[in-house]
Structure 1
Amino acid sequence: MSMEKISIIVSKGSLEGIYPALIMANGARAEGIEANLFFTFFGLDAVSTKRSGHVKIGAVGNPGLHLATFIGALPGVSGLMTRYMARKMDRLDIPPIPEFIEMISDTGAGLYACKAACDLFGLTKDDLVPQVKDIITVGEFYEIAEGGQIVYT
């Protein structure tokens, strides 16, 4: 049984929360699978005109960094780890978030922002990158996702 549609919920506003969703959506489109991204809560940082180019790694309590929590909390550690990861991703030709969002949108993927989260943070369509098709409710997201798999990142 082949997959025809995937809808990915992006809820985290850190590099390690956003990139997996972008990579999965990009991979789906490369395989001819319909892909939709639903940005909610802090995941909205990925499509915020003010935040998308400034997303950092969550250094405090991140088990993947193999750092003691108190080290991750030190000033500058998050920025240092973010710059380190950015250099590694650049060597692997993984684009920065704003460029990746544009690239995925250009493949025909649907990008949507959560209405409840936008209302909570006082965001309008003007605050979001132009690749976001619309601000939609959870119910509207389920309609778009109908008939496919939903992945929560």
Structure 2
Amino acid sequence: MEQKLKEHIDPALEERLRSLIDERIDAKLAARIEKHPSRKKKLAVIVSKGTLEAAYPPLILATTAVALDMEAALFFTFFGLHILKKGSAESLRFVPLGNPATPMPMPNIISALPGMTALATLMMKKTIASKQIVSVPELLDLARESGVKLWPCQMTMDMMGIERKELIEGLSDPVGAATFLSYAADADITLFI
């Protein structure tokens, strides 16, 4: 039947119909793209802990996200803000007390002994270096250079009496929860670490 219809349709008319259909499809597509422009995927992370083992995940995830052509923002609040203080990234500690995933399980009472945190930190940093894993200060540099938004929490700064001059250089301006939530509401991935 299609063959019979083709025989009766004027080729010029068929071409004109195809042209009109293509124009309408193109116009609809352009309107849809204008209404919903493509954007980069976004990662939003709340960084709330300031220990050695807590600093790695958000920094690795954010720098990896940027390498994958995503946007990334880290919101450093409460004890996570410690990571951004001048000189702190180099001296972050690993605290085995109450950490059931510590590689060498030991009773909590032993972890509570004086010097155990220092020993555990030394051992962890030695392992990190022997595995040629970049340090936290190097990850912070990479994050700043690659455009990761490093947001100090203004409320935490006020609460803890931390001034902007006490934080490392190259950070985004301090923000509040509303700014982070506005970003996170549009993020594809949101994490709390």
> What is the alpha-carbon root mean square deviation over aligned residues?
1.6
Q: Which amino acid aligns with 1:91?
A: S
1:68 matched to which residue of 2? Answer: 107
Specify which structure has the higher proportion of helix: 2
Q: Which amino acid aligns with 2:48?
A: S
Query: 2:141, 2:177 → 1: CA distance?
Result: 23
The CA deviation at 1:128 is 0.6
Query: 2:131, 2:173 → 1: CA distance?
Result: 31
Matches within 5 A, 1:75-114: 75-114=114-153
Higher RCO (C-alpha 8 Å, min separation 6) = 1
Query: 1:15, 1:50 → 2: CA distance?
Result: 13
The CA deviation at 1:62 is 0.9
Percent of paired sites with the same residue: 32
Query: 2:141, 2:46 → 1: CA distance?
Result: 18
The CA deviation at 1:35 is 0.7
Q: Which moved further from structure 2: 142-151 or 64-73?
A: 142-151
The CA deviation at 1:97 is 1.6
Which stretches in structure 1 are left out of the alignment for 5+ residues?
none
Judge conservation of contact 1:57–1:82 (CA < 8 Å) in 2. Answer: yes
1:58 matched to which residue of 2? Answer: 95
The CA deviation at 1:8 is 0.8
Judge conservation of contact 1:59–1:78 (CA < 8 Å) in 2. Answer: yes
1:131 matched to which residue of 2? Answer: 170
Runs of 4+ that moved beyond 6 A: none
Query: 1:110, 1:94 → 2: CA distance?
Result: 22
1:41 matched to which residue of 2? Answer: 78
Q: TM-score normalized by structure 2?
A: 0.74
Q: Do the aligned partners of residues 26 and 91 (structure 1) sit closer, same or farther apart at CA in structure 2, a change above 3 Å counting?
A: farther
1:150 matched to which residue of 2? Answer: 190
The CA deviation at 1:84 is 1.2
Query: 1:67, 1:34 → 2: CA distance?
Result: 40
Which stretches in structure 2 are left out of the alignment for 5+ residues?
1-39
1:5 matched to which residue of 2? Answer: 42
Specify which structure has the higher proportion of strand: 1
Aligned mate of 1:24, from 35, 38, 61: 61
Q: Which amino acid aligns with 2:124?
A: M
Higher Cα radius of gyration: 2
